[in-house]
Amino acid sequence: MLGLLQNGFLEDALPVLEALDGMLDDAEIAYSHGLCLSELGRPAEAVAPLQRALELDPTHANAFIALGVAFARTGRADEAANALRDAVKLEPENAFAKRNLAAVLMRAGRAAEALPFFRQAASLAPADPGAQLGLAQCLEELGPSHVKEAAEQYKAVVKRFPDHQAGEMAEEALTRIGHEEMRAAVDGGLRMDAVMYMQAALERFAKLDQAKVGQIVMEIALLGRNGLEINKPAVRYTLQNLEGEFSGLALLAYMHVGFRMFDAKGDAGTGLDREYEAAVKMRRER
């Protein structure tokens, strides 16, 4: 039976678990029954067998975790948090329990309360992308005073889990944070420095073939996976495919221009559409 659950044969395991749970007073069977229902997308039905498991064994930490997850999936946030807190009390070093508790609290708008649990989960499980990403998201949720740390945590996730969905989500978050900081630096107005960088890019790229431009865009995109320092002009970058030293904002501008050469109506993901339009217009009027 355990083998069926471990190998994902939930539909096959469920009728046997239902029958056994009806015949035996066994906490592990009741827990497995409830867990199977929850994983099959039936969390409301999972609550009763999981509660039965805890009646039979009040020290069953995994049953508390599964119950908390089932409550969370049915929108019962307070009950979910209480069950997960009980799991943490039983097993203070259980990273999965702490990660789930933190996630429930954050979804309920209690990010400040969630933060220490995310920190603990991330420390206990450094190889868990969910715990590491959750910590970054919680820091970002807490607002401007935590954005710098959130960005550093997102960068760490990208570096540690480049091929995982968590890494992709962290990249998107870094882009979002960069856009917000870029606009904040000019109170939401046009970034004239970006416009000037784009004018320079338009001039330089006009002298290159498309393959070379494509190499430049790809190199900048790969460099940007760890985040570009958009608002720190003193931080300089170099490229293998383009001579010179560049600020983070300059590279973003060059990438936008290069991308638009391949897809005139596409979203370059830089947040610099207005600056690009201004640069193109100014070049035409020269």
Mean pLDDT check: name the lowest of 1-15, 222-236, 256-270: 1-15
Q: Do 198 and 170 share a structural domain?
A: no
Cβ atoms of 73 and 38 closer than 8 Å: yes
193: CB partners within 8 A, 6+ apart: 249
Structure-token match 């990208």, residue found: 158
Between 121 and 182, the more confident residue is: 121
Q: Do 198 and 178 share a structural domain?
A: no
Task: Please state, for a pLDDT cut of 90, what percent of the chain lies above it.
Answer: 59
pTM: 0.68
Residue 194: pLDDT over 90 = no
Q: Do 243 and 122 share a structural domain?
A: no
Range of the domain at 229: 192-285
Assign residue 110 the CATH number of its domain: 1.25.40.10
The neighbour count for residue 236, using CB atoms within 10 Å, is 14
Cβ atoms of 237 and 246 closer than 8 Å: yes
For 251-285, how does the pLDDT look when each residue is reduced to its tens digit (9 = 90+)? Answer: 999 999 999 988 877 777 787 888 888 888 887 76
Return the structure tokens found at 103: 């996630």
Q: How confident is the model at residue 233 (pLDDT cuts 50, 70, 90)?
A: confident
Q: Do 147 and 197 share a structural domain?
A: no
Q: Do 201 and 273 share a structural domain?
A: yes
Query: Among positive and negative, which fits the CA dihedral 29, 35, 40, 44?
Result: positive
Q: Residue 212, by phi and psi: left (phi above 0), alpha (psi -120 to 50) or beta?
A: alpha
Q: Do 211 and 129 share a structural domain?
A: no
Q: What is the pLDDT of residue 60?
A: 97
209: CB partners within 8 A, 6+ apart: none
Task: Count the domains in the chain.
Answer: 2
Return the structure tokens found at 244: 């010179």
Mean pLDDT check: name the lowest of 17-21, 57-61, 146-150, 280-284: 280-284
Q: Do 252 and 125 share a structural domain?
A: no
φ, ψ at 191 (rounded to 5°): -85, 100
Q: Do 133 and 32 share a structural domain?
A: yes
Q: What is the pLDDT of residue 8?
A: 57
Q: Do 139 and 20 share a structural domain?
A: yes
Q: What is the pLDDT of residue 230?
A: 79
245-281 burial code (b ≥16 CB/10 A, e <16): ebbbbbbbbbbbbbbbbeeeeeebbbbbeebbebbbe
